[in-house]
Structure 1
């Protein structure tokens, strides 16, 4: 039992170090180059490597086993293990669909996959990669529209658009200047409209994001982005479509 307690303390220390070095909430200003981060990361890797090599212990299965598996997953993340490596290590190779999601170790695989994805998205955001470039990078235009909703890259793009928009809104709402790349394909603009509606963005913000806020009324209506603003107003119930002119029936006396 004493061995189990020692292992538990080690695992909890590892998780505490990992949480300190990698907060789950993505910050707008972050740095991973500090000496403290490097020290904590090196300690975490050493402890995680020890735990991984000693995973055959039969004492206190259950909660302790879950903590060890969690720490081992974080170790794979830190050491850059591939998706294929992790699936094989978790006994999930050649498993897909509903069988994959119902597997006991799927939770750890999903944690690994999502963490890798969020780090990639965070890196793009910190490097100010515009969503238009991400759309091209993921080759989403080559995916049939009917298949996009269930496509992992498409889902990742939608998450990035939300992250980018949160970032833009923070700066614009605090009157901080930030460079914005306007426009995008019709498919990209449709996603942005959905994001603005879901986030309940104010009209002034949507106008800024469509480069419409400093235009005269006539120039605004001639802008290529004005139809998207009209669509936003319709989607939020601010612009009602005019009723069709009723038919005039002639009544004979």
Structure 2
């Protein structure tokens, strides 16, 4: 045993060195397999140096090798007993000698490999590669890892419902303001965190005061409030709330209280920062009322105007919203060519009302406005909605007017004004280089309408290129132009121009 001890020690160190060497070049699975080979070689060497236990140990060792090989094969159905039947046993002295020499040879090969690797490591390319890998790893660790770690922290803070002030402090942003804050590396994490909180506050039905307190801006006024970096989050929350309040048709006085505007004098309210959110709320209400065709009397009740008259009505801060709502209705009635009787009924004026009693009605001013501006309202709204001249021809009923009386009729005059309005708008857009033009040319226009429009173009001396454009003739060569269906209307225009 004493003679085998030095060799056993050498074998142990060789085994460790070899595993370390292989681990630098091989995947982990290969390293494990090499370690297994090294362990096997060491065990064989120890057995060969101890003749008393050599035979028994050899059998145990060979069975182990046989079992390992069997497990790695595809023959999974072989009985485990096949590997322990002693098929690989040998007790001859010649076998022992061969095994010992094989073990010593393996040791020498490993030592030589280790020396070769030491020489390889001294080569410059190897050192350069090692330094490059070290620098790349360090760069990744310094630049990417902190960002990943911060993002993970923010996710945890979000799940744990941490406060805005906690997150700002944890990100090292507490003492930063202005561009120093927004330009900080961690600001984007802070920004993402707070923006994520807005729908959470909305879901939890937080009041404006709760949100302002959470953002640390409650009590601030004027420039101190609007210049605060957290004001933008408050503004986003309030804009969404205003739309939600309008959708739910909440009471206007209730919203004044929520926005703390009820304690502000009426003349000073427009200067309050929360006033714009009140205006957005009311604008949302009016859009909803227009869609529902809410009667004017109901709107007066909602705006707290139904019990007021005279100067008390006209001076109320909500009267301007009522005026705006009524004006929008006037435009719709004009666009739909509603009658005078229809308008008086909608404005709440009883039939037979006349004289001073009619003029004393609070809505009489709107009836007068409709009579004065109906054509203007209609034309602008039609143009906004891309109503073509042929559509206007049909809506106005121009074709029902006798041809002999048509040119002098008020109906044709309305049609002519709208054609000129469309032409002016289109020429202006084309001259500006606009490529996405509204579709104001109806391909189904009748011959009668195009005949009349050709005369209007001639009367206004519209340029030839525009007339061709309106008739769908632009870009055609001489032959194609003369063969086109609308060429005759172009000729009619030319005849009355020159």
Equivalent of residue 206 in structure 1, options 455, 467, 470 = 467
Q: Is this contact kept in 1: 2:406–2:412, CA < 8 A?
A: yes
Residue 232 in 1 paired to residue 493 in 2? yes
Q: Is this contact kept in 2: 1:182–1:209, CA < 8 A?
A: no
Q: Distance in 2 between matches of 1:198 and 1:36?
A: 49
Q: Distance in 2 between matches of 1:117 and 1:193?
A: 23
Q: Distance in 2 between matches of 1:90 and 1:113?
A: 17
Q: Is this contact kept in 1: 2:396–2:411, CA < 8 A?
A: yes
The farther-off stretch of 197-206 and 81-90 is 81-90
TM normalised by structure 2 equals 0.29
Residue 165 in 1 paired to residue 426 in 2? no
Displacement after TM superposition at 1:146 (Å):
2.9
The higher-RCO structure (CA 8 Å, 6+ apart) is: 1
Q: Is this contact kept in 2: 1:74–1:112, CA < 8 A?
A: no
TM normalised by structure 1 equals 0.51
Q: Distance in 2 between matches of 1:176 and 1:229?
A: 24
Please give the residue correspondences for 1:114-129 in structure 2 after superposition, counting only pairs within 5 Å. Answer: 114-129=372-387
Q: Distance in 2 between matches of 1:197 and 1:36?
A: 50
Alignment partner, residue 223 of structure 1: 484
Alignment partner, residue 186 of structure 1: 447
Equivalent of residue 139 in structure 1, options 393, 397, 400 = 397
Please give the residue correspondences for 1:59-98 in structure 2 after superposition, counting only pairs within 5 Å. Answer: 77=327, 80=330, 83-84=340-341, 85=344, 91=354
Alignment partner, residue 22 of structure 1: none
Q: Is this contact kept in 2: 1:210–1:225, CA < 8 A?
A: yes
Q: Deviations over 1:133-186 (max 9, x none)?
A: 222233332232234345444332222211111222122223423233346223
Q: Distance in 2 between matches of 1:200 and 1:110?
A: 36
Alignment partner, residue 435 of structure 2: 176
- Structure 2 residue matching 1:129: 3-state secondary structure: coil
Q: Is this contact kept in 1: 2:458–2:494, CA < 8 A?
A: no
Q: Deviations over 1:209-234 (max 9, x none)?
A: 11112112111111121122222222
Counterparts in 2 of 1:224 and 1:35: CA distance versus 1, 3 Å: same
- Structure 1 residue matching 2:392: 3-state secondary structure: helix
Residue 156 in 1 paired to residue 156 in 2? no
Unaligned runs of 5+ in 2: 1-278, 287-298, 312-322, 334-338, 356-365
Unaligned runs of 5+ in 1: 1-33, 56-72, 93-107, 238-253
Counterparts in 2 of 1:145 and 1:53: CA distance versus 1, 3 Å: farther
Q: Is this contact kept in 2: 1:90–1:109, CA < 8 A?
A: no
Structure of higher CA gyration radius? 2
Paired residues in the alignment total 178
Q: Is this contact kept in 1: 2:451–2:492, CA < 8 A?
A: no
The farther-off stretch of 111-120 and 200-209 is 111-120
Q: Is this contact kept in 1: 2:471–2:486, CA < 8 A?
A: yes
Counterparts in 2 of 1:78 and 1:134: CA distance versus 1, 3 Å: closer
Q: Deviations over 1:15-63 (max 9, x none)?
A: xxxxxxxxxxxxxxxxxxx949949x9xxx98xx89x9439xxxxxxxx
Q: Is this contact kept in 2: 1:183–1:189, CA < 8 A?
A: no
Please give the residue correspondences for 1:17-56 in structure 2 after superposition, counting only pairs within 5 Å. Answer: 35=280, 38=283, 53-54=309-310
Q: Is this contact kept in 1: 2:393–2:415, CA < 8 A?
A: yes
Q: Is this contact kept in 2: 1:135–1:157, CA < 8 A?
A: yes
Counterparts in 2 of 1:91 and 1:227: CA distance versus 1, 3 Å: same
Counterparts in 2 of 1:116 and 1:213: CA distance versus 1, 3 Å: same
More helix by share: 2
